[in-house]
Structure formats: structure tokens, C-alpha cells
Amino acid sequence: MKKTIALLTGGTTGEWVISVKSAATIAQNLDPDKFEVYKIMLTQQGWFYEPADSMKIEVDRNDFSLTIRGRRITFDGVFICIHGSPGEDGKLQGYFDMLGLPYTTCDALTSAITMNKGYTKAVVNGLPGLNIARSAQIFKGGDHDFNQLKADLKLPFFVKPNNGGSSIGMSKVVRADDLEEAVDKAFKEDSQVLIEEFIQGREFTIGVAKLDGDIVVLPATEVETKKEFFDFEAKYTPGVATETTPALLRPETRERVADIARSVYRKLNCRGVVRIDFILTGDEGDFYFIEINTIPGQTATSFIPQQVAAMGMKLNDFYTKLIRETIG
């Protein structure tokens, strides 16, 4: 029997554009023989289902149902495809938990913690083989001393909003005098800012998902860009970055990276598919954790679809397994 799935897209941050593209990929790759899919848009103005042949229909948020031509539609589960708030920070997960409605992502607590880069690092710190760059977490209106920060941390720094994604509001600081300006830019996006020492090395990202009861690590992608760092433009403008999937790594390094990625997934109590960004220093030396993304992009050019293809799996099968694992 078909499952009725709500594909929830949109959001209330600048990342809604990516969310809509991700939802389009997912919708194209959900098996119509197994799932009846209703794409629902969440915006500041409301939550709506917009069928092709009629006016948009508002979702009844009391039970997350739709009424179409007098027929009430309820859902077996929700495929959450909202990057940033309120899809990635635990708010929607808490709402669905209260309704008893299963969903495809990490739970409310894990989503809330992992949205905060500083808190995430505190949780995973100490895992075998995992290194973390020295950093300072500061708060808007807080009592932070820029001279002390410059003395405590070695240049260059990355300055980034502590909650957020797609590298929005992020800067690389190579001159100490530029720190205040970078912090002001990051505070426009968030009330907490992370100042982190730059780690020299090769940058990678790797998908991890629980499928058929096992934690599966997808082939890693190496990311190279001519820009100072992998910013919003490099992420979403074709040709700005070079992405190699699967990454060229020695077999023993691939195994080590996969083991660390599994341990991060377990430690943070993840569900569904996540993506872990990391740096390898030297000649495939130390593994430095950058961040985890609990609702990674699913656009046609995003990392997860690339990695699923590199593993020899169809996206259709991947999403089917993902829904069976998280929704049932």
C-alpha cells in the first residue's frame, strides 16, 4: 500500500531557494508506485499545498492535514527538505513529535544542537581520530575583547555565524585589523559567532545515512576552489569549485575517514542522511571536523546525489530506503 508523504520545502531564511531546488530533485526521484507525494511550501506567509490545477490550499496546523475538495488528507510521514530554520534547527521536528508524525531527519534535540557549530564541536570533541580547530564563541551584546581574541588565536581566522548554512555571513580574516568587520558581518546573520583558526589542508565532505538498519558512509567528495574558501558562490555557481567524487584517497584513509564519520553520526544520535565536512592535513594526515549538516542539499548538483551515484545506487532507491528507515 502506498504511503502518503508530505514533502516540506521553503523556509524562512535565505536558504529557501536551495530548499526548493532540493525538493524538486526529491520529488522527481520518489517512486510513484510506493509514495503519494504532496509538496508543501512553508513561508513567512503560511504553509500551503499548491496543486497544478487549483488555488493553493492551506495546511491545517492543528494536525498537519489538508482538505482538498472536501476530502481530508493526513500523512504517514514528512520528508523535511528545509535548509536552515525552521527545518534544520529542531523547531519543525518538535512540532511533528508533538503530533506523533514521523519524519526523515534527525530528532529535535540533535537538530538544535548541530545547528550550533560551537555546541556540536563540544559534543564530538574527544572522539578517536577526530581533531577540532581552536576557536572562540562570542555573543551579540556580550563582553568580548578583540585584543584578547587576537592574542588567543593564530591567524588566519574563519569568522562565521554559529547557526546557519551555505556559508552565508562567513569571512576569512588574514589581517588582525579586519576581525571586527568580519564579526559585524557575521552578527548580521546570527546572535552567536564562531571565530576559528584556519586549518591548512584538503577539504572534503561525506554523506552518512542509516539504510536497512546499518550506518552507510557514502563516497567522500573533495572540494577545491580558487576562492579564499568554499563560500555561497562557490557552492552554488557552476564552475567556481571543482568537486571530485569519489575523492582520490588511499584505501586506508577512506576506511579511517568512514570510521570517524560513523562515530560522529552515532555520537550525535543522527537519523536520516547527514553530511560531514572535514579537512585532511598534510599527506592524508589528521582529520579536522568542520561541521555537520543534518539536512544536506539534494539539488541536481549537490554532494549527496553525486555520492549516491558514485556508490552505484539510484536516487530513487536511496530515498525509498531513507523513508523506510525513518518513517516506516
Q: 3-state SS of 142-169? A: CCCCHHHHHHHCCCCEEEEECECCCCCC
Residue 228 pLDDT: 56
Q: How far is CA 155 from the centre of its chain?
A: 27
What residues form DSSP beta bridges with 48? 41, 58
pLDDT for 130-142, tens place per residue? 999 998 999 988 8
Give Cα separations from 179 to 111, 118, 160, 168, 172 (angstroms): 29, 18, 11, 17, 9
Residue 50 pLDDT: 86
Residue 164 pLDDT: 59
CB 168 within 8 A of CB 151: no
For residue 225, the SS3 value is: strand
Fold type of domain 113-131+201-326: D-amino Acid Aminotransferase; Chain A, domain 1 (3.30.470)
CATH number for the domain running over 135-197: 3.30.1490.20
Residue 166 pLDDT: 47
pLDDT for 235-285, tens place per residue? 555 567 799 999 999 999 999 999 999 999 999 999 999 999 999 999 999
Question: pLDDT below 50 — which residues of the chain?
Answer: 166, 230-232, 234
Q: What percent of the chain lies above the pLDDT cut of 70?
A: 95
- In the chain, domain spans: 3-105, 113-131+201-326, 135-197
Fold type of domain 3-105: Rossmann fold (3.40.50)
pLDDT for 286-308, tens place per residue? 999 999 999 999 998 899 999 99
Query: Cα separation of 135 and 205, whole Å?
Result: 21
Residue 239 pLDDT: 63
